[in-house]
Structures are given as C-alpha cells and as structure tokens.
Amino acid sequence: MSQFLLADDHPLFREALKGALSAKFADLEVFESENFDTTLQVLSEQEDLDILLLDLHMPGNGDLYGLIRIREDYPSLPIAVVSGSEDINVVSKVMGYGAMGFIPKSSSSDDIALAINHILEGDVWLPLELKD
C-alpha cells in the first residue's frame, strides 16, 4: 500500500488531488493536512509515508521554513512541492532546500502521477518548461 501526505490549506484542491491520485495509484492511502502544525503531527504519527506533497503557502509554513524544517526532521522522506507559483526563483530555492520535485498546480493529473512516480523511484522531477 502506498501512503501519501497531501499538505495544502485549500480543501477543494486536496479533495480534487486525492481523487485524481486515487484513480492513478492502486491501493493508495492519502493523509491530509491543512496547516504546518497538522503536517508535523501527521508526519510524527505516520512513519511509513512514501511522499509528502507540500504546498509552500499553508498557514504556519512561512514559505520555505516548512520545507527546511521537514527536510531536517525527515531527511529520507521524498518531498514534492506543489505550488501555484511557477517562478523559476522559487523553483530553484525549493530544489536547493531538498525538495525532490516541483509540481505546478496547473499540471494535469497524468503529469502529477508521472512526477510522483519519478520521485518515488529516486529521481528529481521538474516540468519541462522549468528545467535548466
């Protein structure tokens, strides 16, 4: 069974992404969090998570603070930043702070599944338009 943590403060986005992921990944359990404190709580309770899908702009996340803190506390957990921003400076920073991938919220469900599969295989993933 695969276990993903979806950390985003928008319930509709979480619900839609959870549905899309459930259609793409068999035997999937999705945990959800709506702010940084809840994210840390789920991380401490669920030791077998396969990936964290992290929104940078959740309450308490402080943009990059959440990514930095989670990377320090959970160095082996693959983290993909899922963001509405496609600013190359933001992408560069999150990758520099240890994210394994950057997934724009404008991505299709097929592209999100592709990105997650690459990250789960240990690869770094960026959309083609953001590479270089």
pLDDT digits (tens, 9 = 90+) for 72-83: 999 999 999 999
Quote the pTM value.
0.94
Is there a contact between 43 and 52 (Cβ–Cβ < 8 Å)?
Answer: yes
Residue-range domain boundaries for the chain: 2-130
Q: pLDDT tens-digit profile of 18-42?
A: 999 999 999 999 999 999 999 999 9
d(CA 103, CA 108): 10
Reply yes or no on whether the pLDDT at 131 is more than 80: no
Dihedrals φ, ψ of 92, to 5°? Answer: -60, -45
Residue 79: enclosing H or E segment and its boundaries?
strand 79-83
Is the CATH number 3.30.70.120 carried by domain 2-130?
no
Check residue 86 and give its pLDDT.
84
